Structures are given as structure tokens and as C-alpha cells.
A and B are shown apart, each in its own frame.
Chain A
């Protein structure tokens, strides 16, 4: 009887491991010169990367090496998310404007917020290409940042 009664009370903690992040990849080029000629080198990995959200203390990526994609949580309380990026020693301010949609999961987990990206840009003028506007998990690439290093 005790076993039966105890099993009526559920586990009240959330057991769903769901992360909703905007996935950003990189498409970089750099002009290299030899004695005879100059040529463009294309690469999609950042040698050194630091990312921190605007107005928060915690650093999301701290001097990470050889990074080809990053997962950026978007804000659920407002419609604009800003990140300070330091990529190979160059500083950028990335702004992502988005809509938020609350999705009820369960009483244990509460709500998760999904996002629809409207626009994305940097202060440097480098192009941010929107690959997929819908941010509902951490599996699909959403943005590609085209960078040019001298």
C-alpha cells in the first residue's frame, strides 16, 4: 500500500534537457601575400574567441581556441540581444533582433521561449547572414558571420 501511495506523487523537478540557442557559424577570409603574389585564404574556424553578453557579468566563451560555431542564448524578456565578440583579437558588437514565443512544456519545466530572428548585424559592417530564422533548439545553424581579416 505504501508503495502504491508513494508512487502517486510525481517527481516535481524538470528532467528535460532542452537548450534553445541561436547557432552562429563563421565564414572568414584573409589576404595573404608572398614575395610574388597575394591570395585569399578562406577558413571557418576562429583561432581565438571570447563572447560575453551585453550587461551581464558571465562570459559565455572565454578565449576558446579553434571554434567553428557558437551557441548563443537569446533574451526571453526583450526582443533584442547583444553580444560582445572578440574574434582573433578584433572586437565586434553583434545585435540580434528577434520575436519571442512562450511555449508551455509542463508544470515541472514551466515554459521554454522559442525565437524568430528578424535582423542581425554587427557594428563593423560585416555581413550577418540569416540561415534559419527559427530558434527552437540548439541543432540548426541560424546565423553565419562573414568576416574579413587583413
Chain B
């Protein structure tokens, strides 16, 4: 339960207007720091929902697949440049971001993770890596400004940042193959 409180504190911090404004002022920080932090706050807060609504998760997310699919849909949705742009222009979209990332993506990811087998967990990693690589391709390759609110140079930076994240994920994968993980359980 302590975790849920920490999650709520993190969420409260991220919602504060000056914090949100600062994080959203830089494109890569918006996508690669604020959004993952929102998911992380949801992952922590998930404990609260798991304890208070066990039947709900039992009924709707028995084998973990619906939850992880929801996570993937929400995450992919926020990777679309136009959506990120709209959060800055349309208040309702901004509100949706602050609800969907923690409560739909974060909570469902936490609930699904332990229910998934290791191959399904690997698939989540592969999904994220592919998304990052795809984003790197789009954002580095685009020769026009694709967001109204962000400059082209920021867009390229985001592309290179995505490439860096994808490479790091690949490194993580490689070490999983070479190091026996059973020892660390």
C-alpha cells in the first residue's frame, strides 16, 4: 500500500501545472520522461486497485493479455505526433493523457505483468523496441515540422533519443541471453 501512496505523490507532482509545463516544453522530455513517469506512477498506484477491486481484475484480466493489449494501445496512441501536439492545444486531450497513461496503461501493465509468461513479457519488450525504432525512423527521417508546437530540431532530437532507447533495450535483451537470470530470483 505504501507503494500506492508513493505513486499518488509522484502523480500529484507531475500534475502540478509548473511541472507539467516545464516537462512539456521540451519535446523529448514530454515523450520520453513525462509519459513514462505517468505510466510509472500508475504502476505504483496499481497496488491500491488490486487490493480494493480484486474481482474486477479477476474478471477482466484473468490471463493478463487484455491488460497488456490495453497498455500497448494506449502507449502507441501517445506515440503519434499529432496526439502529443494536441495535448498542448486542447485541454481535454491533456486531461485524457493524465488519465489514460497512469490508470489505463500503468495499472493494467502492472496487473498483467506477473500473469504473463516470460515469452509474453519478452514480447512486450520487443514491442517497445520496435516502437522506439519506428519512432527513430519517423522523427529523424521527417524533413518537415510534424508538430505545430515543436521545432524541427526538437523532433530530430526526439528521433535520436528514441534510437538510443531502442539500442539500450537491445543491449538489455542481449544480456538476458548471456547471463543466467535464474540466479537472481
**Does B bind A?**
no
